[in-house]
């Protein structure tokens, strides 16, 4: 385990998201702030709670995250798998607990901290109906343990 991340997001139906993730980098000995753009990445294992005025929902997820980085800046994207309780709100009920999640994000590293902003979408990819999906805008704080 190379790091831990904390995320807060706001989504459809005024749903708040609180998530904690464990980070495991693909390259442990790579240069910290590369002078040229390079491809890097990490495994992300997460647990979250979603909450809105009507209901609370639990979520666990796993994703490979691809990151393009240069110096302290990065762009990233991921497609992962999540298990979510199906009842989100009175007008948003997932037909399956199994969901795909994709996100795109940007951020900056400073010392052992990384600050990021992500847009994330979860849906079952059309496996079953209804498939309302949900979107979040997320702020992220990551701390490197090494």
Element containing residue 135 per DSSP (H, E)? strand 134-144
CATH of 3-141 among 2.40.50.140, 3.40.50.300, 3.90.1170.40, 2.40.160.20: 2.40.160.20
Taking only the tens place, the pLDDT of each residue in 3-36 is 999 999 999 989 999 999 999 999 876 677 778 8
Give me the residue label for tokens 């929902």.
57
Is 145 in contact with 113 (CB distance < 8 Å)?
A: no
Taking only the tens place, the pLDDT of each residue in 45-101 is 999 999 998 888 999 999 999 999 999 999 999 999 999 988 787 778 888 999 999
pTM of the model: 0.91
Taking only the tens place, the pLDDT of each residue in 92-145 is 888 899 999 999 999 999 999 999 999 999 999 888 888 889 999 999 999 999
- What is the rounded CA–CA span in Å between residue 144 and residue 146? 6
- What is the rounded CA–CA span in Å between residue 69 and residue 7? 20
- What is the rounded CA–CA span in Å between residue 24 and residue 22? 7
- What is the rounded CA–CA span in Å between residue 63 and residue 29? 21
């Amino acid at each position: 385990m190379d790091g831990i991340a904390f995320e807060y997001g706001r989504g459809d139906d005024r749903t708040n998201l609180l998530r904690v993730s464990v980070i495991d980098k693909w390259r442990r000995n790579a240069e910290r702030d590369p002078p040229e753009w390079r491809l890097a990445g990490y495994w992300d294992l997460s647990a979250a709670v979603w909450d809105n005025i009507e209901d609370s929902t639990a979520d666990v997820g796993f994703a490979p995250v691809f990151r393009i980085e240069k110096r302290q800046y990065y762009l990233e994207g991921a497609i992962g798998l999540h298990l979510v309780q199906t009842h989100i709100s009175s007008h948003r009920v997932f037909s399956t607990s199994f969901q795909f999640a994709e996100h795109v994000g940007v951020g900056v590293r400073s010392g052992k901290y990384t600050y990021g902003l992500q847009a994330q979408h979860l849906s079952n990819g059309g496996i079953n109906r209804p498939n309302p999906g949900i979107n979040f805008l997320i702020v992220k704080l990551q701390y490197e343990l090494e």
